[in-house]
Amino acid sequence: MDINAVKSAYRRYAPGYDLCFGPILDQGRRKAVAKMNCRPGERVLEVGVGTGLSLPLYESSVQVVGIDISPEMLERAEVLRERLCLGNVAALKEMDAERMAFPADSFDKVVAMYVVSVAPDPVRVVNEMRRVCKPDGELFIVNHFRHPNRLMGFIERLVSPLSNMIGFKPDFSLDEFLRKTQLDVLERMPVNFFGYWTMLRATNRK
C-alpha cells in the first residue's frame, strides 16, 4: 500500500461511502463502541474516522477526537458533527495514523475501525495507538482479515495485487498481524455479515 494511493482511493469513495459502506459495516461500528463501555469524561481517539458514521454512537459524556488521512472524508464528518450538534466530538483532524501529533498517554481508549488493512505500515499504526493510549487503557480494532475458507482465501490472494487501486489489502493475515504487533488481545469476535470482519479488544500494557 502507498499513502498516495490510499488518499486517491478514498477521494473516490468519499461521495458515496456512506451509501455503500454504511449499512454493510454498521454492526461492527456499533459493537466496537458498545464494547468500549466508556465512562463519563473518558477521552477516545478514533483512528480513521472517515465520514464520521460512528460518531453519533458515543454517549454525549464521552469526549471523542477523530483523525483521518483523507480530507474529503473528514469534510463529510464535519458536516455530520454540525448537523447532529455533536458537542462531545472535540476535534476532527487530518493526520497520518503512522505519525500522530498527540502526546503520549493522551487517551483512555483508542479505536481503529476498518483501518489497519488500509495503512502502508499496520504495525506502526498499532505502535502509535499504544503510544497515545494511557497505560492499561484499551485498544480496539475492527478489520477484515484473510478468510480461513480456502476458496475465499484464494480469491483474496488473487485480488491482492489490486490493493493500491481498491484502497485496502484483501489478503491481510490476522496471525501475522498479531505476531508482528504483539497485541495483548483480551477478546476476539466476528462482526458484520457472515462474520467476515473481526473485532479485537486489547489492553495497553506498557
For 79-124, write each residue's pLDDT tens digit.
999 999 999 999 999 999 999 999 999 999 999 999 998 888 999 9
Give pLDDT, residue 16.
87
Q: Where are the alpha helices (DSSP H) in the chain?
A: 3-13, 17-36, 71-83, 122-132, 150-159, 163-166, 174-181
Q: Which residues of the chain have pLDDT under 70?
A: 1, 147-171
What domain range includes position 165? 3-203
* Cβ contact 97:111 at 8 Å: no
* Cβ contact 140:110 at 8 Å: yes
Domain of residue 147, CATH code: 3.40.50.150
Give pLDDT, residue 49.
97
* Cα→Cα distances 108→20, 58, 165, 167, Å: 31, 14, 35, 29
Domains identified in the chain, total number: 1
What's the mean pLDDT when you consider all of the chain? Answer: 88
Give pLDDT, residue 172.
75
- The pTM of the full predicted model, rounded to 2 decimals, is 0.87
